[in-house]
Structure 1
């Protein structure tokens, strides 16, 4: 047997052995049964989600009716890929999305399927924490997230401007001083920028519970250039999400990020400029619609 054929045969054998570990079948069984076994597993996953959706419909008094094929076909194709025995939270998100579709489907409904299939089990758990945080106030007349007319996108610009005004005012009123010790090659700033920034962020009377800061930093400059600075990815506000989950939600258009930059002139005892950069995060309208559709038990069915 030529060397090239030996290599190909060895490679094929290695692939079969590797696949066997994941699927649990011998090489002979694999060729004929892998398709059937995977289809059966997907069918079981779909059945678990459908059964769970029935429970959600009953709990929310939603009469079960036929859902358009344009939604149900891509839904089952995506949802059946979840390991419903291991990912209970994701199973509930899929079941909730299906129960929500019983009451209403539109062009956005298929987008929600694509966004949900991207999430990991850990993402799903963190979203549950975020929903509980947003809905702590049970009174629908007070809690804007329970108001179906609430449109985050129309308020996000105003929210950022409100924050900008508050922080700029706080920075302008702070008695910052900047000094340099050339002999020791050190510098000092008072009040310490990180501590000032944290105090200012905590004092801001934010208007929305979904608003958070997931990055902040500062740098100091004088006429000779950059002297130093610091940054932190610690979260402030309602953000109970990890950086990885925030990155995913931003990529999916469920959370919006905005970077705010502030400059503070310092004249005593050395002239300089203190620059703050703060990264803001908040739900988008699509993000709120996604949470409502995938957490029907918490938000209730659409009216």
Structure 2
């Protein structure tokens, strides 16, 4: 059986990083951690293990920074978390995996949400992650702008009608519904100098992952023949999709969890 110390030496990872992650990995694997050398047999597995070391090391730092002790994690979550994170070699996405690992080990969400996040992150490209962050930053700016506009109106009404009960203090920026802020593919592509075709493809992928959704307008028209009182009412439904989209609830939670926004 291969010696785990020799394998770690071959990975050329700084000792301080290994020391930080070893404690967390041993807490998760128990005695089996010392037997992992027998499992790592080829270069692919070595690369995956190196990825895990980096991700879990950073997760350990996050937990320590927030003074959180790792909680026991369901095997339904732990197994795919370790498996999927090991494939990620891009530093940008490794950072997101570290945040997700720390979140899972903190025990602050339900299993279904954790499983969804693991699945989403395993399918997310770095370009899509950057796009998602850009969209969310714009969403946050628009929330602040709406809050400031309504706050200004509130103070104006307060000055003119100090005793008015109808003058309600505006919501906080994060309290505005995410579905009330639409994005348009053509407009966003033009603002950011992106090909509409390329943007449409990426948005479609993010929609498939459940992070965004198409915003559809539904119009219902009902008509009845006035000359025939016994006639049926004709109902026609028109569904419009002008390539507008919005964030979903899981998209909002996911990006807050995996970024510093």
TM bucket normalised to smaller: 0.5 to 0.7
Aligned to 1:63, the other structure's residue is in SS state: coil
Unaligned runs of 5+ in 2: 1-39, 148-170, 220-239
The correspondence for 1:100, drawn from 95, 98, 103, is 103
CA distance 1:131–1:89, change in 2 (3 Å): farther
Alignment of 1:150-229 (within 5 A): 152=178, 156=179, 159=180, 208=181, 211-214=182-185
Whole-Å Cα distance in 1 between the matches of residues 253 and 191 of structure 2?
A: 18
Question: Is 1:41 the equivalent of 2:47?
Answer: yes
The correspondence for 1:246, drawn from 183, 203, 213, is 203
Question: Is 1:127 the equivalent of 2:132?
Answer: yes
Aligned to 1:235, the other structure's residue is in SS state: helix
Whole-Å Cα distance in 2 between the matches of residues 237 and 288 of structure 1?
A: 24
Q: CA deviation at 1:236?
A: 7.5
The correspondence for 2:246, drawn from 282, 290, 293, is 282
Q: Which residue of 1 aligns with 2:115?
A: 110
TM-score (norm 1): 0.48
RCO greater where, 1 or 2, for CA within 8 Å and sep 6 or more? 1
Q: Greater helix percent: which structure?
A: 2
TM-score (norm 2): 0.55
The C-alpha deviation readout for 1:92-142, integer Å capped at 9, x for no partner, is 1111111221232422211111111111111122223334334455x9x62
Aligned to 1:64, the other structure's residue is in SS state: coil
Q: Which residue of 2 aligns with 1:15?
A: none
Contact residue 129 and residue 240 of structure 1 kept, 8 A? no
Unaligned runs of 5+ in 1: 1-33, 160-207, 215-232, 263-275, 299-303
The correspondence for 1:74, drawn from 54, 70, 80, is 80
Q: Greater strand percent: which structure?
A: 1
The correspondence for 2:64, drawn from 36, 58, 64, is 58
